[in-house]
Amino acid sequence: MKQLKLLALIIIPLGIIIAAMPADKVNHSRLTPGELLQEAGSGVQFISPDIVADMLVRKDPSLRLIDVRTPEEFETYSLPGSINVPLSNLLSEEFSDILNQDAYTNVFYSNGSVYANQAWMITRQLGYENNFVLEGGLNYWFGNILSPESPSQTSPDEEFARYDFRKSAAAALGGGGVVSTDAASPSPKAVKPPVTAKSKKKPSGGC
Amino acid sequence: MTINTSKDKSRKYLNPYLGGVLLGLVLLSANFIAGRGLGASGAIKSVVATTIGTVNKDAIGTMPFMAEYAESHSGNPMKSWLVFEMFGVIVGGFLSGAVAGRLKLKVEHSPKISSRRRLIFALAGGILFGFGSQLGRGCTSGSALSGMAVLSLGGFITMMAIFGTAYALAYFFRKNWI
Amino acid sequence: MGPLAPNEIISENTNFLLAFFIGIAFGWVLESSGFSSSRKLAGIFYGYDAVVLKVFFTAAITAMLGLLFMSAFGWIDLTLVYVNPTYLTSAIVGGVVMGAGFIMGGFCPGTSFCGAAIGKIDAMVFIGGLFIGVYGFAFTYGWWEKLYLARYLGEPKISDKLGLSDGLFGLFMILVALGMFVVAEWAEKKFPREEY
């Protein structure tokens, strides 16, 4: 009995302390600068506009477009169904549930990709997942999705396929709107990095 | 409390609460180092898989249960965390027994039954447990103990099932033990 | 930041080597606590020896508290720690079969290795049975496959299912365990057996 009392004396207070501690929400493993640099460099944050267009056309419920420009720009034009989280307010409490979650696929966009990329960097550093950057931003979107270039006669088949897809997507999504370019944003050529679901090292174990 | 009859020269067992704390620390270190808890039945599975593979290379293919296991352990099913751990368990158990003077080749059984009867039940129990551990995805170490430490619902359920069933059947096997 | 292997702080081979050492510690503690004796193990079901209960739950609580505290200090990332998946049907059925095996054989896999290591022949026979059982399962897998894969619930934690925080559930478990220990000690006094 003596040892039992001693044991109880130790673990009950420990239990009370641990019970009183606030629980963390979702996943909170901040990245080290090195990790962030590596991820940013590999381009995993980019999501191809074709994929986004496809999700929009299919009305995929997991897609959530986030416009990181100013409210005025958002008013002027925004992608269908998108919400406005201005970059300057990114870290405000009201948006933390939107940015730190694992139900939706968030896609940041801005006119080019600089601001969207910044938003991604900041949230990624905090350990948030499921956030992506629309490749090429609105500029590329207008130039290539909504008004796709028709391929020349000698282009490979997949270019034709892509052109057809974009034409029908454009029709479904409505025509273009007012565009303004921000400072340093070249619209990148159609380089499509694979959008792989971010699979962190999944814990493994067994019997 | 158990009384140590003085004529056997083995050391007494550890106080169970102390043993529990130590075991908990071992489990904790396993989680910290390897990101997984302890286990045992998985090692048996590895050895069985290896044996099947060695005896008849194609047999693994016909066994879906083993096939997916062999895939995830490409190359050598013996190269698994649990196998290394179990080798350690054998060594550790041996050392502890040696230090405490408990090394003795014998069949341990209640004085009311014969050795033979004990061994028959040991075999039967082993077969059932081996089967059940695969179905339940773990044994008491892997599923129940390690599962509880990480608050796994599945681990908890398995533990309740194991102990509940054992209690329920205890009456029918009481002659073997008391 | 732990866990070390999933975070690739240590290599896979180091992980395996450490597994060996962890196993040594595991085996040592089990044997020292008396888990190499089938009669001690079976004792909890008849009241005369509660070593299984005491060691098991104390260990689970110690490890659980350890993990929660380490996570609170930021020393370990719990999302990278393996949480056993829950397949409801097979968890129960498998547990029932194992329970029967336990009361008949008086061992579980881990303890049987300890017993065998110190020369217990019944433990060795039990291990033989284990191999037969595992092989039998693999051989007849087709019959059980549906059962085996039924009702997959993911990897839920008990605390989530009960709507409690991990810490609060931990405290609850501590209190329940201590209560069980009190009952166990009472039972040990009531149904004594001589040392074995």
* Domain shared by C2 and C64, yes or no: yes
* Domain shared by C5 and C99, yes or no: no
CA distances from A68 to A62, A90, A112, A186, B97 (A): 19, 8, 11, 18, 67
C6 lies within 8 A of chain A by CB? yes
ipTM confidence: 0.91
**Minimal-distance CA residue of chain B relative to A7:** B17
Query: What fold is seen in the domain A31-176?
Result: Oxidized Rhodanese; domain 1 (3.40.250)
Nearest-angstrom CA–CA distance, A116 and A141: 14
Cis-peptide into C3, omega within 30 deg: yes
From B113's Cα to the closest Cα of chain A, the distance in A is 33
pLDDT over 90 percentage in chain B: 38
Predicted TM-score (pTM) of the model is 0.70
From A205's Cα to the closest Cα of chain C, the distance in A is 6
Q: How many domains does chain C have?
A: 2
Q: Which amino acid is at C11?
A: S
Tell me which of A169-173, B147-151, C13-17 is least confident: A169-173
pLDDT tens digits, A146-176? 777 777 778 788 888 888 888 888 877 765 4
Quick one: how many helices (H) and strands (E) in chain A? Answer: 8, 5
- A182 versus A20: the higher-pLDDT residue is A20
Angle at C16 between CA C11 and CA C21, to 5 degrees: 120
* Domain shared by C125 and C113, yes or no: yes
- Phi and psi of B163, rounded to 5°? -70, -40
Mean pLDDT of chain C: 88
pLDDT tens digits, B131-144? 999 998 889 988 88
Judge: A207–B18 Cβ closer than 8 Å, yes or no.
no
Judge: C99–B103 Cβ closer than 8 Å, yes or no.
no
CA distances from B78 to A112, B54, C131 (A): 53, 12, 15
Residues of A with CB below 8 A from B45's CB?
207
* Domain shared by C104 and C121, yes or no: yes
Nearest-angstrom CA–CA distance, A108 and A104: 12
Residues of C with CB below 8 A from B32's CB?
2-4, 70, 75-76
* Domain shared by C168 and C78, yes or no: yes
Residues of B with CB below 8 A from A207's CB?
39-42, 45, 82, 133-134, 136-139, 142-143
CA distances from A198 to A30, A43, A102, A201, B3 (A): 15, 12, 11, 10, 59
* Domain shared by C142 and C90, yes or no: yes
**Assigned token pair, C186:** 């009472």
**Minimal-distance CA residue of chain C relative to A27:** C79
pLDDT tens digits, B21-31? 999 999 999 99
Question: Domain span at residue C30?
Answer: 1-82+163-196
* Domain shared by C76 and C88, yes or no: no
From B75's Cα to the closest Cα of chain C, the distance in A is 15
Neighbours of chain A (3+ CB pairs under 8 A): B, C
Angle at C78 between CA B148 and CA A18, to 5 degrees: 70
From C151's Cα to the closest Cα of chain B, the distance in A is 11
Mutation for A interface: B23, B36, B80, most A CBs within 10 A: B36
**Assigned token pair, A61:** 């419920």
pLDDT tens digits, B103-124? 888 888 888 888 899 999 999 9
pLDDT tens digits, C171-188? 999 999 999 999 988 888
Look at residue A126 and give its three-state secondary structure. coil
CA C12 to chain centre: 24
Tell me which of A9-23, A178-192, B107-121 is least confident: A178-192
- The mean pLDDT value for C94-116 works out to 93
* Domain shared by C89 and C126, yes or no: yes
Nearest-angstrom CA–CA distance, B33 and B30: 5
C80 lies within 8 A of chain A by CB? yes
CA distances from A80 to A55, A120, A140, A146, B172 (A): 12, 21, 16, 13, 70
- Identify the pLDDT of residue B113: 85
From C160's Cα to the closest Cα of chain A, the distance in A is 12
Element (H, E) at A107: strand A105-109
Cα pseudo-dihedral B41, B45, B47, B49, rounded to 10: 180
Q: Which amino acid is at C118?
A: I
* Domain shared by C1 and C76, yes or no: yes
Quick check: B7 pLDDT over 50?
no
Q: Which amino acid is at B19?
A: G
In the block, residue with structure tokens 């139900």: A103
Nearest-angstrom CA–CA distance, A14 and B169: 37
Residues of C with CB below 8 A from A1's CB?
185
Judge: A18–C69 Cβ closer than 8 Å, yes or no.
yes
> Chain A residues contacting C, CB < 8 Å?
1, 4, 7-8, 11-12, 14-16, 18-21, 23-24, 27, 29, 200-201, 203-205
- The mean pLDDT value for C31-57 works out to 90
Distance between the two ends of chain B, CA-based, in angstroms? 16
DSSP output for B161-175: HHHHHHHHHHGGGHH
In this complex, the residue of A1, A11, A20 whose CB is nearest that of residue C174 is A11
